[in-house]
Structure 1
Amino acid sequence: MLAQGPVQTKAKLQYQVSNLPDFGGTSSGGNSINDQSWVAGYSRLPDRNRHATLWRSGLLSDLGTLGGPNSSVTWNVKNTQGVIVGISQTADPEPLGESWSSAAFYSTPNNVGYINLGFVWEQSLGQMRGLPNFPGGNNGFATGANNLGQVVGWAENGVHDGACVSPQVLQFRPAMWTLGPPDQIQDLPLIPGDTSGAATAINDNGQIVGIS
């Protein structure tokens, strides 16, 4: 005789899909969510430009720009200290004709032609600010932030690097910013022999991952 106990069945997971409000443009997207259910990403405006956007409890906030037409949160920032980071165009023209990282996700005609900076937005201040580049560099990009006031991404320096793929001219390096004031930038190492790279995420142990 075979005795068989009760069979335990796994509870079915229940999902609810919610539409997030937008700014009336053609598309929007959530690219980051933290443990407080804050969603960050972008929403297009009726003029086709996109702005970095934060959704809290289903309500959207326009994080603005650094003076240019576009901004966006494009990576999973994921901290619980009210810090959002991303990329924003400034009002300044790009002097070397570089398309930087914005050409792939901003709409024409404003996807190129402007200097881009990594930005940080802090809940306690309520306004985005640009993060510094390495000396001689024009463009930057912030991708991740931990709960210790550390932000990572990549930024240009003043080295004209022939290994860069056109229209990129300047070398760019993985960067970590320690939030201030003042915000301070630190160069991160690359794989030996490489000249450019990027940092994409940081945890609360100070461990950083990226690309070289």
Structure 2
Amino acid sequence: MTTVGALTACLALAGPLAATAWSAPPPAGWTSVDLGTLGGPRTDATDVNDKGHVVGQSETAGGLRHAFLWRDGVMTDLTPGAWQSAATAINERGEIAGYVQLAEGQPTQAFRWYRGTTTLLPGTEYGSEINERGQVGGTAQPSEEDPWTTSPFVWTSGTLVEVGPVPYPSTWTSSGIVDLNRSGTVLGRTEDFDDREVSYVWRDGTMTRLGEADGRFFATDLSDRGHVVGRASEADRLLSAVLWRDGTAEDLGTLPGDVWASANSVNEHDVVVGWSQGADPTDSGRRAFVWADGYMDPIGVPDGAWSEASEVNDRGQVSGRIGFARPDGTPVQQAFAWVDGTLTPLGTTHRAVAVTDQSGAGHVLSIVYDDGARAILHVPPKRRS
């Protein structure tokens, strides 16, 4: 799952990448649906389940930003009487996690929404994740006297358990949640005093640091098996794509001719996707990769286009974005799906694109940026029985 906070970082990567003229063919069998808005000009979508139900945040006609559920073509405001809110995650049962600010000036609280009933979670700030057991993960502020200290939490059927503080030397005690898996394991992240990333896994009260104390490990995704992917760097500052499993970090390498890489997502079969890059990003750009069983392969794109893989589901279907130039030289981006070795460009081109989630059924969720932000759900062709 990808959170709203990751979108800014995703867009920031677009600047230095090279682009070459290319015209994308129309997608075969896919349907691209603009989810609309709650009356205002902007919609940000964060999560989609296998039924194609989408959650996120949309601007109202009055200029407020509210949590929404989009289902069967209808967008519903989940907090119509609130000041501000956002829905961040949805599971297969339709349970939703998010956060809400009930009135201007009040603090935010995490919430769980299910079948029209909203449950506020006392002692919390932001709800970020919800797993298939209905557990909500997010960020809490343990002490009102210290507003700068935050800690992940796991809420289970009315019981709140806080994760933290981080116990490692020369590391800030505050941290935030990255992911929550089916067993209630938390993937968290903070920084040390030298601004190096520190990632950890918390399970049943035990916290395990990922990577070495003299390096840094930026975790991006957690599988239900407890395996983690991300990127690591040492003194030379070059990035390595890493898979952490069974207490060991495995360097996944790079594509031939490249010098650094980052892993963005992992499925339950330890298939990993991300990007690999050459020494000069303005010349070589990025190339999406798929790693499995010790081998890293590129996702083929037209000559001159760059690519990044963001998501992979348990069927091995991959989604991400490609960048290229229109015939007039204008740089554009487009979402893609990679299924059974074939890359399919999705929808139309835009100034910038962020792929935020992919369902187990293959739906690809994206936000497109032109004059504003709009949410697009790319629905795959129906599978033949």
Q: Structure 2-normalised TM-score?
A: 0.39
Match of 2:161 in 1: 186
Match of 2:174 in 1: 196
Match of 1:140 in 2: 125
Distance in 2, matches of 1:78 and 1:89, equals 19
Distance in 2, matches of 1:55 and 1:192, equals 42
Q: How does 1:1-212 map to 2 (within 5 A)?
A: 14-64=29-79, 68-73=82-87, 75=88, 77-91=89-103, 113-123=105-115, 126-133=116-123, 140-158=125-143, 160-161=145-146, 169-179=147-157, 183-189=158-164, 190=166, 192-193=168-169, 194-212=172-190
Count of residues paired in the alignment: 161
Q: In the alignment, residue 119 of structure 1 is paired with which amino acid? A: F
Identical-pair percentage:
29
Distance in 2, matches of 1:191 and 1:79, equals 32
Q: CA deviation at 1:116?
A: 0.5
Measured against aligned partners, the alpha-carbon deviations of 1:6-56 in whole angstroms (never above 9, x if no partner) come to: xxxxxx764321111322111112211011211001221111001100011
Q: In the alignment, residue 70 of structure 1 is paired with which amino acid? A: Q
Distance in 2, matches of 1:42 and 1:78, equals 13
Match of 1:102 in 2: none
Q: CA deviation at 1:155?
A: 0.4
Tell me, yes or no, if the aligned pair for 1:68 and 1:90 is still in contact at 8 Å: yes
Distance in 2, matches of 1:140 and 1:147, equals 22
Q: CA deviation at 1:89?
A: 0.2
Q: In the alignment, residue 78 of structure 2 is paired with which amino acid? A: L
Computed over aligned residues only, the root mean square deviation of the Cα atoms, in angstroms, reads: 2.1
- Any unmatched runs of 5+ in structure 1? 1-11, 92-109, 134-138, 162-168
Tell me, yes or no, if the aligned pair for 2:140 and 2:162 is still in contact at 8 Å: no
Higher relative contact order (CA 8 A, sep 6+): 2
Distance in 2, matches of 1:157 and 1:188, equals 10
Measured against aligned partners, the alpha-carbon deviations of 1:128-177 in whole angstroms (never above 9, x if no partner) come to: 221121xxxxx51010011112110110112644xxxxxxx342111111
Match of 1:94 in 2: none
- Any unmatched runs of 5+ in structure 2? 1-26, 191-385
Distance in 2, matches of 1:191 and 1:174, equals 14
Q: In the alignment, residue 52 of structure 1 is paired with which amino acid? A: A
Q: In the alignment, residue 188 of structure 1 is paired with which amino acid? A: V
Distance in 2, matches of 1:26 and 1:56, equals 20
Distance in 2, matches of 1:63 and 1:188, equals 28
